[in-house]
Amino acid sequence: MDHSKNNIKNLAILSLIIATILLLCSWDPFNDKSSLLQNHSSESAGLLLRPFPQNDELRTALENASTPNKTVVLTVINKAYVDPPVTGDSPSMFDLFLEAFWAGEGTRPLVEHLLVVAVDETAHERCVFRRLNCYRLRAEDDDSGSGGGDDFAGEKIYMSDEFIEMMWWRTRFLLDVLRRGYDFIFTDTDVLWLRNPFTRLSTNQTLDLQISTDTFNGNSTSEDNPINTGFYFIRSNEKTVTLFQRWYDMRTNSTGLKEQDVLQNMIRDKGVIGELGLNVRFLNTLYFSGFCKDSRDVEVVATVHANCCRSIRAKVADLKRVLRDWKRFKNGENADFGGPRDSTRNFSWSKHISCINSWHKKF
């Protein structure tokens, strides 16, 4: 009798073990909606939790560019960025972007971890020719229905419908990178890296996002800072993936707004930072400056962004001035006058003439 009971007990235990194994084998972590996708649409769920191919091109590109701790530097280019905006000896915006890495302090080794994402074939060929880490983002990589691909080859004037569409397409791609577990700096190609920005970014592991500002209000935690999505450092975790998913989902209800404006509204009006428990640092323009607000101190500035500027032609003209100023500073000259300077305190940047004229034109 006891022997029969033991057999039944052993059979029950064996059945439980088999059932557990079958459950574990069939469980797909990408389909677990218990935490990330509460209050998300079915469209969001499918996008956020879609499993990745084992040997896809993006995976290879990220692995090639990544640091050992899975950090990359990302920029997105198209034909308009790699072609000179005027005939003659004028450089392209991409030329100036790469030249800054060469002329900057501590920036040359960072090119090894730069992944250049090309949205058309001309831009991709130019990247490959320069022997950089390149990835060709194709229309079929995007399931938003926006098209993309070679539709994004030409210049997209600031705040045009095509410009807004391209910015959302970029956001969708960056969400994909986050979901793959990579931390990254995203940088627009009109940002010149004069010094290694990692020396000015916080190493605090609890910071989820460090983002540049058009003007800095003096408080690095103030949600009233006007953000700029042309430069930021973000860590891949559940909170940041959720942030990007919600941000991307807002595109269908944000007609006429660029992605930066939508994220700003999510921060200021909807309280998304507190809701998701994000730890965000807003970057000081003293170190991460731009044409909206020049850095006051050339001794510490890390990046210069051609923000508050509409056209590529204007950006290129004034970014050339920035690089000229930078080289004069390194040679001990004053930027404005070209002569010797007594100290860095009397150094001043050249005026952004082209961008000022471009910005004040009517849209």
Q: Report the candidate in 115, 359, 322, 93 with the shortest Cα–Cα distance to residue 214.
A: 359
Q: Band of the pLDDT at 86, cuts 50, 70, 90?
A: confident
Residue at 222: amino acid letter: S
Q: Is 282 helix (H, G, I), strand (E, B) or coil?
A: strand
pLDDT the model gives residue 275? 97
Contacts of 103 (CB under 8 A, 6+ apart): 194, 323, 326, 327, 330
SS3 content of the chain, % helix, strand, coil (to 5): 45, 15, 40
pLDDT the model gives residue 31? 33
pLDDT the model gives residue 356? 87
Comparing 108-112, 200-204, 252-256, 351-355, the range with the smallest average pLDDT is 252-256
**Rounded to an integer, what distance in angstroms lies between the CA atom of residue 14 and that of residue 22?**
12
pLDDT the model gives residue 52? 58
pLDDT the model gives residue 255? 73
What angle do the packed helices 42-49 and 161-179 form, to 10 degrees? 60
How does the average pLDDT of the chain come out, rounded?
Answer: 81
| Total count of residues recorded for the chain | 363
Q: What are the start-end ranges of the H helices in 155-287? A: 161-179, 238-249, 259-268, 272-276
pLDDT the model gives residue 315? 95
Q: Quick one: 278 exposed, middle or buried, by C-beta within 10 A (0-12, 13-18, 19+)?
A: middle
Considering only residues 215 and 16, tell me which one the structure prediction assigns the higher pLDDT. 215
pLDDT the model gives residue 59? 95
Considering only residues 127 and 51, tell me which one the structure prediction assigns the higher pLDDT. 127
Q: Report the candidate in 331, 352, 350 with the shortest Cα–Cα distance to residue 341.
A: 331
Comparing 63-72, 142-151, 265-274, the range with the smallest average pLDDT is 142-151
Q: Report the candidate in 351, 353, 344, 355 with the shortest Cα–Cα distance to residue 301.
A: 344
Considering only residues 354 and 192, tell me which one the structure prediction assigns the higher pLDDT. 192
pLDDT greater than 50 at residue 140: yes
Comparing 41-50, 69-78, 333-342, the range with the smallest average pLDDT is 41-50
Residue at 142: amino acid letter: D
Q: Band of the pLDDT at 64, cuts 50, 70, 90?
A: very high
CA 141 vs. chain centroid, Å, equals: 18
pLDDT the model gives residue 363? 42
Predicted TM-score (pTM) of this structure: 0.80
pLDDT greater than 80 at residue 213: yes
Express as a percent the part of the chain with pLDDT over 90: 60
Comparing 101-105, 203-207, 290-294, 331-335, the range with the smallest average pLDDT is 331-335
Do strands 209-213 and 280-282 pair parallel, antiparallel, or not at all (unpaired)? parallel
Q: Report the candidate in 175, 190, 236 with the shortest Cα–Cα distance to residue 82.
A: 190
Contacts of 282 (CB under 8 A, 6+ apart): 210, 211, 213, 216, 219, 220, 221, 222, 225, 227
In this structure, the number of other CB atoms found within 10 A of the CB of residue 183 comes to 19
Express as a percent the part of the chain with pLDDT over 70: 72
pLDDT the model gives residue 39? 36
pLDDT in tens, 216-242: 999 999 999 999 999 999 999 999 999
pLDDT the model gives residue 16? 53
Contacts of 187 (CB under 8 A, 6+ apart): 73, 74, 75, 193, 230, 231, 303
Contacts of 183 (CB under 8 A, 6+ apart): 69, 70, 71, 72, 233, 234, 235, 236
pLDDT in tens, 238-267: 999 999 999 999 888 867 788 899 999 999
pLDDT greater than 70 at residue 12: no
pLDDT in tens, 143-165: 443 344 445 544 444 445 566 67
pLDDT the model gives residue 103? 97
